[in-house]
Amino acid sequence: MRGRAIKYERDNIDTDVIIPGAYLKVHDYDELGRHAMEGLDPRFRERAAAGGSIIVAGRNFGCGSSREHAPIALSRSGIRAVAALSFARIFYRNCVDGAFLLPVEIGGEAYAAISDGDELEIDTGAGTIAAAGKSYPTRPFSDIISRIIAAGGLFKAGLDG
């Protein structure tokens, strides 16, 4: 997967800024996409529309509420992956369970090296993220998460039996 980085040098980007509570009753996914990150970054839609498709951020991305609206809103605004130092569990699972976007855990070296606007390449097979001609390891997915990602969602992964 290739895409341009939208970088926020912030920890604890929470689900209330990803999609505020006022929109939790909205079931039109495109409408959710129009309000993604609006509390944090008024220029987010513009940046996503201009080809930014990979958010890069610090620790504990997606902390807060269990709302699946958060990865849905990001996904519908054009985001295909989030590369962060760490994720809150429910957000992480929501990303892969609904096949909304790819959550990739990166290390401090990659986080420091990636600049806003960089062209990135995420290779889930090799377990790397590449920026400015240099490649960095990403944290491997667990067996179950790999299966969910490969299948395209929790209910396609055949884990029930």
Q: Which of residues 24-43 bind another protein (CB under 8 A)?
A: 24-27, 39-40
**In Å, what is the CA distance from 78 to each residue of 126, 132, 134?**
24, 22, 25
- Is residue 63 a contact partner of residue 10, using CB atoms and an 8 Å limit? no
- Half-sphere exposure at residue 69, Cβ-oriented, CA atoms within 13 angstroms: 26
Least Cβ distance, residue 121 to another protein (angstroms): 25
Distance from the first to the final alpha carbon of the chain: 31
Q: Which of residues 41-60 bind another protein (CB under 8 A)?
A: 58-60
Q: Is 125 in the site for another protein (CB under 8 A)?
A: no
- Specify the residue, 18 or 79, whose C-beta has the smaller distance to another protein: 18
Q: How far apart are alpha carbons 104 and 87 in whole angstroms?
A: 9
Q: Is 64 in the site for another protein (CB under 8 A)?
A: yes
- Specify the residue, 34 or 59, whose C-beta has the smaller distance to another protein: 59
Pattern 97-116, binding to another protein, x per CB under 8 A?
xx------------------
Q: Is the dihedral of CA 150, 62, 64, 77 positive or negative?
A: negative
> Which chain residues interact with another protein by CB under 8 A?
9-12, 14, 16-17, 20-22, 24-27, 39-40, 58-60, 63-68, 86, 88-91, 93-94, 97-98, 142-144, 153-155, 159-160
